[in-house]
């Protein structure tokens, strides 16, 4: 989400995971107390500048707990589920691993993860997190099995201020102003799209569903309470197809995320729809001299239907602990640290990061851009939010969804897309 927001594809599930769940110990793999010392193995997805930022957070943990040694294992985004499944089956899972709600749900249902209810009770009571964020960490189950470490706000339209000035356009506040600005793009693509990496296509779906169908329908779809053929959901994907046909470049499915980001930064595209992490990725991957707020900025994507309730598309990375960890005390200590304002401030100070802990101070963020993005993070439990749809669902549905979106961008056939998803996702009955 994360790089970019993690996207996963389930490769090995079902009976294999069931066998792993039966092999787990009933006592949780050790006591929750004890000395915080020894070795920890941690699986994560970040590379490049985000990988360096995460290393800085881990360095902070090791400084706080000098008797603990953390070994980081970076895993490609699309191999997370299969690798962790294999390691759980073989009886040697990492102590701590990154995961999204879909992954958390798959492993927690097999009784493979540490419960974190007591920790979350304290965090909510102290105002670190809201109950709505706890709901994300439960992944739709009865207990909490994960901590929220890295947040992200999505549906941000990134642009170069000088280019809008040349077009005589102010940052759009309505859908008509947004499409009108794209209509004026000359000598460049209206949009930079990294569709070769698949997941950037899902970044368009979430704010469009929220902005057309509304947050209630969005969350009902995510939880399988309505089907993809619900009229409001169909209308949202009709809007998606219209945008793709009118404004996606011909190279949309042949361009990767980083190349698309740099195309926008280099003036080859007017806008890019991505999350807050772009403020870190742009100078690191494209040109280190680029400054947030001066050379690139963002506005929130306007809702196509101004009558729907205001909502914010969000995503982010969770961490969970293995129930079979041989070092539960250190595992819990690391999870508590990653969830803390202390740890999250370290990355916040480096930029391109939204701290989900409400007690991270605003002045920790290095730029106005990062602070503006952080202000969009829903800290009020009454604020409507939609957590990244495909990451919430996970599993084979997620894999088929990204494939179906690629086909939708090829042929703009909404009926075919809805038909595919209705066949794949039968949760609504």
Burial 251-279 (b: 16+ CB within 10 A, else e): ebbebebbbbbbbbbeeebbbbbbbbbbb
CATH of the domain at 78: 3.40.190.10
Tens digit of each residue's pLDDT (9 = 90 or more) over 281-299: 899 999 999 999 999 999 9
| Inside any domain, residue 85 | yes
CA-CA distance, 155 to 235, in Å (whole number)?
18
The reply to whether 274 falls in a domain is no
Q: What is the largest CA-CA distance in the chain?
A: 66
Q: Determine the distance from the C-alpha atom of residue 264 to the mean position of all C-alpha atoms in its chain, rounded to a whole number.
A: 21
Domains in the chain: how many in total? Answer: 1
CA distance 201 to 193: 8
Residue 255 domain-assigned (yes or no): no
The whole-angstrom separation of Cα 77 and Cα 47 is 10
- Quick count: other Cβ atoms within 10 Å of Cβ 52? 12
**169 within a domain of the structure (yes/no):** no
Give the separation between CA 355 and CA 135, rounded to whole angstroms: 17
pLDDT digits over 61-115, tens only? 999 999 999 999 999 877 888 899 999 999 999 999 999 888 899 899 999 999 9
Could you tell me if residue 358 is inside a domain?
A: yes
Sign of CA dihedral 423, 424, 425, 427: positive
- Whether 32 is in a domain gets the answer yes
What is the full per-residue pLDDT of the chain (429 aa) written as tens digits?
A: 333 333 322 222 333 333 334 433 333 333 345 689 999 999 999 998 889 999 999 999 999 999 999 999 999 877 888 899 999 999 999 999 999 888 899 899 999 999 999 999 999 999 898 887 888 788 888 999 999 999 999 999 999 999 999 999 999 999 999 999 999 998 999 999 999 999 999 999 999 999 999 999 998 999 899 999 999 999 999 999 999 999 999 999 999 999 999 999 999 999 999 998 898 889 999 999 999 999 999 999 999 999 999 888 999 899 999 999 999 999 999 999 999 999 999 999 987 789 999 999 999 998 898 899 999 987 776 667 788 999 889 889 999 999 999 999 999 999 999 999 999 999 998
Give the sheet arrangement for strand 269-274, strand by strand.
189-191, 269-274, 156-159, 297-300
Placement of tokens 């097999």 in the chain: 110
Task: Annotate 333-347 with DSSP letters as a single string.
Answer: HHHHHHHSHHHHHHH
Structure-token pair, residue 91: 């009886």
- Tell me: the pLDDT tens digits for 333-361? 999 999 999 999 999 998 778 999 999 99
Q: Is the pTM of this model over 0.75?
A: yes
Q: Does residue 101 fall inside a structural domain?
A: yes
| Cβ(220)–Cβ(393) below 8 Å | no
Rounded CA-CA distance 208/194 in Å is: 17
Query: Within a domain: residue 172?
Result: no
Which residues have CB under 8 Å from 87's CB, separation 6+?
93, 94
218 pairs with which residues across the strands? none
Domain of residue 25: give its range. 15-152+314-387
Q: Which of 296, 221, 243, 240 is nearest to 266 (CA)?
A: 296
């Amino acid at each position: 989400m994360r790089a970019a927001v993690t996207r996963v594809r389930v490769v090995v599930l079902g009976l294999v995971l069931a066998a792993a769940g039966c092999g787990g110990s009933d006592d949780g793999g050790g006591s929750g107390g004890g000395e915080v010392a020894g070795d920890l193995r941690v699986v994560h997805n970040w590379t490049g500048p985000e990988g360096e930022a995460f290393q800085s957070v881990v360095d902070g943990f090791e400084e706080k707990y000098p008797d603990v040694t953390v070994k980081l294992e970076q895993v490609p985004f699309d191999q997370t589920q299969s690798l962790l499944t294999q390691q759980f089956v073989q009886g040697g899972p990492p102590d701590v691993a990154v995961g999204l709600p879909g992954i958390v749900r798959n492993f927690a249902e097999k009784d493979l993860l540490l419960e974190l209810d007591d920790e979350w009770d304290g965090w909510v009571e102290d105002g670190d997190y809201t109950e709505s964020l706890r709901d994300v960490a439960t992944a739709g189950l009865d207990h909490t099995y994960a901590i929220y470490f890295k947040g992200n706000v999505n549906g941000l339209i990134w642009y170069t201020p000088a280019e809008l000035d040349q077009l005589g356009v102010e940052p759009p506040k309505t859908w008509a102003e947004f499409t009108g600005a794209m209509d004026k793009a000359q000598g460049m693509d209206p949009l930079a799209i990294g569709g070769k990496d698949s997941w950037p296509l899902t970044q368009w779906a979430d704010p469009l569903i929220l902005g057309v169908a509304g947050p209630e329908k969005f969350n009902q779809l995510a939880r399988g309470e309505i089907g993809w053929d619900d009229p409001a959901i169909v209308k949202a994907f009709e809007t998606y197809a219209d945008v793709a046909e009118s404004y996606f470049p011909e190279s949309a499915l042949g361009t990767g995320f980083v190349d698309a980001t740099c195309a926008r930064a280099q003036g080859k595209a007017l806008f890019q729809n991505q999350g807050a992490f772009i403020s870190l990725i742009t100078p690191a991957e494209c040109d280190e001299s680029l400054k947030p707020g001066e050379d690139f900025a963002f506005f929130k994507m306007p809702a196509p239907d101004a009558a729907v309730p205001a909502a914010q598309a969000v995503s982010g990375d969770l961490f969970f602990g293995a129930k079979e960890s041989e070092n539960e005390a250190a595992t819990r200590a690391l999870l508590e640290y990653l969830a803390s304002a202390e740890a999250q401030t370290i990355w916040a100070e480096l930029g391109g990061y939204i701290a989900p802990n409400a007690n991270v101070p605003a002045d920790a963020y290095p730029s106005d851009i990062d602070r503006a993005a952080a202000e969009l993070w829903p800290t009020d439990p009454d604020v409507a939010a939609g957590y990244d749809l495909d990451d919430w669902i996970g599993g084979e549905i997620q894999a088929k969804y990204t494939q179906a979106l690629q086909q939708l961008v090829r042929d703009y056939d909404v009926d075919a897309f809805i038909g595919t998803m209705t066949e794949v996702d039968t949760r609504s009955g």
